[in-house]
Amino acid sequence: MVRQKIQIKKIDNLTARQVTFSKRRRGLFKKAQELSTLCDADIGLIVFSATGKLFEYSSSSMMQLIEKHKMHSERDMDSLEQLQSSNLQSEKKTHAMLSREFVDKNRELRQLHGEELQGLGLEELMKLEKLVEGGISRVLKIKGDKYMREISSLKKKEAQLQEENSQLIHQSQARLNEGGQNVIEQGHSADSIANNLSLVNSHQDYDDSDTSLKLGLAYPY
């Protein structure tokens, strides 16, 4: 039969809780005794029950184990304090270094602006001159690059506008050509109508003349 696994949580029943505490406490002390015997370890256990009752086990003197623990705790505290003190000293050194660097950079910046130059020697002035020249060169390079990018952008816009203008011109010419063709076709239509009317009138005049001739023959002089 498979043994059911006990769920680790507080036991609500008081009697069952006390029984479980008693069994587990004895088992815990037995395991501690075995560990001490097998591994020659100094072990001390202190257990308080839910009612406040003290239970303890020690492989040797409990007081000696407590003193040993206290010594280790004090030693760890000293190590921690030393570490904190070392970290604090390191932070102070870093802060001092950054402060000096800030002062130096601030003074160098003012000197680049032409201030506080009286106390500088010739070598320092030459070094400062090179820094200024290098800065000016970088500024001019960046300025030239920006000009070139702007010129390139303007050329692209100009080409785009020319292309759009060319398309508008072609569209306008196409519309004009379509309008002229319509006028020509309308002119041809008008000429055709005029020619047809002229032919009709000519036929009518011929018919009238023929009729007159025929009437003249019917009534001779």
Instruction: Give the model confidence (pLDDT) of 139-166 as tens digits.
Output: 888 888 888 898 999 989 999 999 999 8
Please, which pLDDT band fits residue 205 given cuts at 50, 70 and 90?
Answer: low
Per-residue pLDDT at 125 exceeds 60: yes
Instruction: Give the model confidence (pLDDT) of 5-24 as tens digits.
Output: 777 888 888 899 899 999 99
Please, which pLDDT band fits residue 215 given cuts at 50, 70 and 90?
Answer: very low
In a domain, 92, yes or no: no
CA separation for the pair 125, 137 (Å, rounded): 18
In a domain, 49, yes or no: yes
In a domain, 42, yes or no: yes
In a domain, 22, yes or no: yes
In a domain, 94, yes or no: no
**For residue 48, how many other CB atoms are within 10 A of its CB?**
10
Determine the structural domain holding residue 57 and report its residue range. 14-76
Please, which pLDDT band fits residue 3 given cuts at 50, 70 and 90?
Answer: low
Bridge-based pairing of strands 54-58 and 44-48 is antiparallel
Residue 98, exposed/middle/buried by CB under 10 A (0-12, 13-18, 19+)? exposed
CA separation for the pair 37, 212 (Å, rounded): 164
Per-residue pLDDT at 114 exceeds 90: no
In a domain, 34, yes or no: yes
Report the percentage of the chain scoring pLDDT > 90.
13
Q: Which pLDDT score is estimated for 89?
A: 81
Can you tell me which residue has the tokens 């010419």? 173
In a domain, 25, yes or no: yes
Instruction: Give the model confidence (pLDDT) of 166-199 as tens digits.
Output: 888 888 888 888 776 665 555 555 555 556 556 5
Comparing 34 with 193, the larger pLDDT belongs to 34
In a domain, 44, yes or no: yes
Residue 57's CATH number: 3.40.1810.10
Under a CB-based contact definition with an 8 Å cutoff, are residues 44 and 63 in contact? Answer: no
- This prediction's pTM: 0.34
Q: How many domains does the chain have?
A: 1
Distances (CA, A) of 183 to 178, 189, 193, 194, 218: 9, 10, 15, 17, 53
